[in-house]
């Protein structure tokens, strides 16, 4: 009987830790460079959206809000991003101009269009950040490593970001942890019930 409970508890732990409950994986990196001519793809002046400073980026006819993750992110502070609709998309916004900290246009003679982007080539920044997406939130954590950018900028659709806050230790437990606790308690209750019946 104890062997069956041990197997059940181990299987529950493996399943709970393998896939976070509610994960949806909607983040994707975008690049600022080469998105069009300087007249079609450019940064607007910074503004405040939902109390958060953002720099609008015009990408042809699509408007994105670009926001900087505070500098203590690269020293180990995780951040909680809250969105009106996470499925509208978000992710790291790379300059996509080698390791240069500025983006360039697709004009025949490229034009410097701004520096509100992560100094990295498209697709290279995500290896330094972990994402835990649940409902309309994402907890991001800096993983570190050689070649990591010193500053991270993220994108989302216009007015989609509703919150940006450091994660504190008083946050609610992960859903997977609660599932593990519940399955353990259910197993103990089952053992107790069978012991009383024998």
Q: Which domain holds residue 136?
A: 28-167
- pLDDT tens digits, 37-58: 999 999 999 999 888 999 999 9
How many structural domains compose the chain? 1
Say what the pLDDT of residue 191 is: 75
pLDDT of residue 21: 38
Q: What proportion of the chain, given as a percentage, has pLDDT over 70?
A: 82
Match 């599932």 to its residue by tokens: 179
pLDDT at 76 over 90: no
pLDDT at position 173, please?
59
Q: Is 198 within the bounds of a domain?
A: no
Comparing 15-19, 31-35, 46-50, 91-95, the range with the smallest average pLDDT is 15-19
70 occurs within a structural domain: yes
Mean pLDDT of 26-39: 92
Q: What is the mean pLDDT of residues 134-147?
A: 93
Q: Residue 108: inside a domain, yes or no? A: yes
With a cut of 60, say whether residue 9 has pLDDT above it: no
Which H helix or E strand runs over 185?
helix 175-197
Q: What is the pLDDT of the chain when averaged over all its residues? A: 84
Q: What is the mean pLDDT of residues 82-108?
A: 94
Work out the average pLDDT over 62-70.
Answer: 94
Residue 34 lies in a domain: yes
Round to whole Å and give the CA distance between 113 and 104: 5
The predicted model scores a pTM of 0.73
In a domain, 6, yes or no: no
Q: Which residues pair with 133 in a beta bridge?
A: 138
Q: Residue 25: what pLDDT?
A: 63
pLDDT at 19 over 90: no
Beta bridge partners of 41: 59
Q: pLDDT-based confidence at 14, cuts 50/70/90?
A: very low
Examine residue 163 and state whether it is found in any structural domain, yes or no. Answer: yes
pLDDT, tens only, 142-188: 998 888 999 999 999 999 999 999 998 655 556 666 677 777 777 78
């Amino acid at each position: 009987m104890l062997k069956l409970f041990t197997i059940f508890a181990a299987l529950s732990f493996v399943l709970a830790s393998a896939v976070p409950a509610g994960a949806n994986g909607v983040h994707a990196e975008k690049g600022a460079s080469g998105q069009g001519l300087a007249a079609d793809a450019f940064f607007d002046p910074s503004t405040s959206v939902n109390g958060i400073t953002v720099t609008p980026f015009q990408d042809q006819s699509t408007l994105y809000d670009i926001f900087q993750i505070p500098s203590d992110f690269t020293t180990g502070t995780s951040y909680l991003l809250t969105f009106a609709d996470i499925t509208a998309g978000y992710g790291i916004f790379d300059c996509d101009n080698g390791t240069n900290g500025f983006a360039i246009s697709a004009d025949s003679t490229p034009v410097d269009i701004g520096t509100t982007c992560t100094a990295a080539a498209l697709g290279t920044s995500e290896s330094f950040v972990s994402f835990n997406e649940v409902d309309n939130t994402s907890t991001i954590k800096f993983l570190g490593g050689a070649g990591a950018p010193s500053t991270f900028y993220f994108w989302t659709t216009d007015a989609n970001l509703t919150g940006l806050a450091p994660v504190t230790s008083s946050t609610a437990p992960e859903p997977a942890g609660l599932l593990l606790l519940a399955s353990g308690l259910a197993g103990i209750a089952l053992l107790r019930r069978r012991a009383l019946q024998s």
